[in-house]
Amino acid sequence: MKSHSGTIFDIKRFAVHDGPGIRTTIFFKGCPLNCWWCHNPESQNLEPEPILRPSSEDIEIIGKTITLSELMEEIRKDIIFYDESGGGITISGGEPLMQPEFLNAILKQCKKEKISTTVDTTGFSSLAVIKLLVGKLDLYLYDLKFINDEKHRKYTGVSNKSILKNLQYLDSEKESVIIRIPIIPNVTDTKSNLQDLGTFISTNLQTIKNVNILPYNRLGEGKYPRLNRPYKFANQLKTPSDKELNNIKNELETYGLDVQVGG
Ligand code: SF4
């Protein structure tokens, strides 16, 4: 194994919402987006950074460098559970595509060891990085927020052009992709945005039809003051109700999509 390394901020074992079966989720540090609702703000900077511990004045450093062999040791601890449940590993973040060499090295090693792999991505990267991944992953969990680029820039800080283009490329390569739409009340769940999303997916993608809708939650809000950063949606948003989520599911299903709440 070559001496690859990368920056991560967490490893979660026995995860059950990051793809099929029981999984180990590896959270890469660094994200090129800056979503107003981000519930992992500690993931955004690529470098390790200080964060106050909850309800105390103590500071901890979030993020660390890990080598490929250290990470593989952690991953191998649960192989028996992956095998029994149809699980594996999920590389999440942050944005995994920001550290493509480390990501690629993990995928290669897992393939050698027959460990199933999923990536949870915004899709924001060059096409060259996406091409590097084709054929190496069992599943992509691909976030889609807005089709309207102005809205995308406003709420995430970046254009969605490469995100849409890369998604179409994965579709043309027949990669296995589940689209994930974060449901942010009055932001991503507007009638026009749902229509745009339904139309884009149903007309521009041939093989990708699976969509998970992920309800907004406020779990990350408390981390912003601990990082000394403002939370733009402070006290403004509620978690959508089951009824609201079902209405959104029904709306998206009118476009012939296979929609699930959660994922
Ligand atoms: S893409 Fe995800 S990790 Fe990055 S800022 Fe948005 S919510 Fe946070």
pLDDT bucket at 3, cuts 50 / 70 / 90: low
Domain boundaries, the chain: 5-261
Give the separation between CA 239 and CA 39, rounded to whole angstroms. Answer: 13
CA of 120 to the centre of ligand 1 (A): 11
Q: What percent of the chain has pLDDT over 70?
A: 99
For the ranges 9-23, 193-207, 218-232, which has the lowest average pLDDT? 218-232
- Average pLDDT taken over every residue of the chain: 96
**Is the shortest distance between the CB of 40 and ligand 1 below 6 Å?**
yes
Give the separation between CA 16 and CA 20, rounded to whole angstroms. Answer: 7
Residue whose structure tokens are 């001496």: 3
pLDDT bucket at 179, cuts 50 / 70 / 90: very high
pLDDT bucket at 150, cuts 50 / 70 / 90: very high
In this predicted structure, what is the pLDDT of residue 263? 78
Model pTM? 0.96
pLDDT tens readout for residues 66-97: 999 999 999 999 999 999 999 999 999 999 99
CATH topology assigned to domain 5-261 = TIM Barrel (3.20.20)
Closest CA to 145 of 33, 259, 31: 33
**Is the shortest distance between the CB of 38 and ligand 1 below 6 Å?**
yes
Does the pLDDT of residue 259 top 70, yes or no?
yes
Mean pLDDT of 159-175: 98
CA of 170 to the centre of ligand 1 (A): 21
In this predicted structure, what is the pLDDT of residue 85? 98
Does the pLDDT of residue 2 top 70, yes or no?
no
**Is the shortest distance between the CB of 93 and ligand 1 below 6 Å?**
yes
**Is the shortest distance between the CB of 122 and ligand 1 below 6 Å?**
yes
**Token output for 52:** 């106050």
The three-state DSSP-derived secondary structure of the chain is CCCCEEEEEEEEEEECCCCCCCEEEEEECCCCCCCCCCCCHHHCCCCCEEEECCCCCCEEEECEEEEHHHHHHHHHCCHHHHHHHCCEEEEECCCHHHCHHHHHHHHHHHHHCCCCEEEEECCCCCHHHHHHHCCCCCEEEEECCCCCHHHHHHHHCCCCHHHHHHHHHHHHCCCCEEEEEEECCCCCCCHHHHHHHHHHHHHHCCCCCEEEEEECCCCCCCHHHHCCCCCCCCCCCCCCCHHHHHHHHHHHHCCCCEEEECC
Inter-residue contact 121 to 141 (CB < 8 Å): yes
**Token output for 59:** 């500071």
Mean pLDDT of 57-66: 95
pLDDT tens readout for residues 229-250: 999 998 888 999 999 999 999 9
In this predicted structure, what is the pLDDT of residue 185? 96
Give the separation between CA 134 and CA 215, rounded to whole angstroms. Answer: 29
